[in-house]
Amino acid sequence: MDLQNRAIIVTGGASGIGRATVSLLAKNGARVLIGDIDAIRGRQVADAARADGLAVDFLDLDLSQPASIAAFAEAIQARVARVDVLVNAAGWDQPAAFMDSPPELWDRLISVNLTGAIRLTRAVLPAMIAAQQGKIVNIASDAGRAGSAGETVYASAKGGLIAFTKSVAREMARYRINVNCVCPGPTDTPLFRSLSEKLQDALTRAIPFRRIATPDEIAEAVMFFAGPRSDYVTGQVLSVNGGLTMIG
């Protein structure tokens, strides 16, 4: 298996794309450590995986709280000698017109989608640097590449995550640490299903393939960046969107 005995953190692993990523990586031999604010579903995912003979554990993580991130990183260090791969998969959105959205919403969107990932990345990098190896996979969004009406601050945060990916990739290349980014288009997640049927239909019709992605399809892209087949790839952004945007 490509990821045999690799220790991998997956944030947001309790549902959606994160959950699909946990399953795929664990089935390919990884020891997966889920970090999520949803403790009930997170433990359910870990318990179900262990029942299938997979190495998956859950730890509490609130990416909007620096103290929670620090405690999570400390707990991870107590469990594994080194994190081989960090997958920043957690994301959150609450669509609203920019002029109708309050600053409190902006703060949470930025903390969960951008600064939380930055803080956690900073916490795991020292051990990767010491080992002269490691991989980081950030899950952003095509909203961060092309913009998205009704998601202005969310798109801003995801755009920041894309820029963070490229900048950290440049700094970490000397340590043989790969940093790449997956940008999903509309995907069948609880977040997508929370949208109005009218908006769901409009997004689906806009996709050349005329369907939204499954979480498993996004997880496959993460698997590529997390595994050995991407050892000479860094600082790259891969859109997985059925052709919704075709950005050079």
Show the domains of the chain with their CATH numbers: 7-185+216-237 (3.40.50.720)
Structure confidence at residue 192 (pLDDT): 76
- Give me the percent of the chain exceeding a pLDDT of 90: 77
Is the pLDDT reported for residue 78 higher than 80?
yes
For 144, residues 6+ apart whose C-beta sits below 8 A from its C-beta are 155, 156, 157, 158, 159, 160, 161, 162, 183
Judge contact between 56 and 25, C-beta under 8 A.
no
**CA–CA dist 210, 204 (Å, integer):** 6
**Mean pLDDT (whole number) for 160-175:** 98
Query: What's the one-letter identity of residue 14?
Result: A
**Mean pLDDT (whole number) for 191-204:** 79
Which position has the higher pLDDT, 241 or 59? 59
How many CB atoms are closer than 10 A to CB 40? 10
Q: What's the pLDDT band for 68 if we cut at 50, 70, 90?
A: very high
Catalytic residue ranges:
154
Judge contact between 84 and 4, C-beta under 8 A.
no
Mean pLDDT over the full length of the chain = 94
Is the pLDDT reported for residue 194 higher than 80?
no
**Mean pLDDT (whole number) for 168-189:** 94
**CA–CA dist 151, 153 (Å, integer):** 6
**Maximum separation of any 2 CA atoms in the chain, in Å:** 51
Is the pLDDT reported for residue 179 higher than 90?
yes
Element (H, E) at 64: none
Which position has the higher pLDDT, 246 or 83? 83
Structure confidence at residue 158 (pLDDT): 97
Q: What's the pLDDT band for 1 if we cut at 50, 70, 90?
A: low
User: Which tens digits make up the pLDDT trace of 115-137?
Assistant: 999 999 999 999 999 999 999 99
User: Which tens digits make up the pLDDT trace of 81-112?
Assistant: 889 999 999 998 888 999 999 999 999 999 99
For 52, residues 6+ apart whose C-beta sits below 8 A from its C-beta are none
**CA–CA dist 85, 96 (Å, integer):** 34
Judge contact between 52 and 27, C-beta under 8 A.
no
**CA–CA dist 207, 32 (Å, integer):** 33
- The DSSP code for 213 is B
User: Which tens digits make up the pLDDT trace of 5-52?
Assistant: 899 999 999 999 999 999 999 999 999 999 999 999 999 999 999 999
Handedness of CA 203, 207, 209, 214 (dihedral sign): negative
**CA–CA dist 203, 186 (Å, integer):** 7
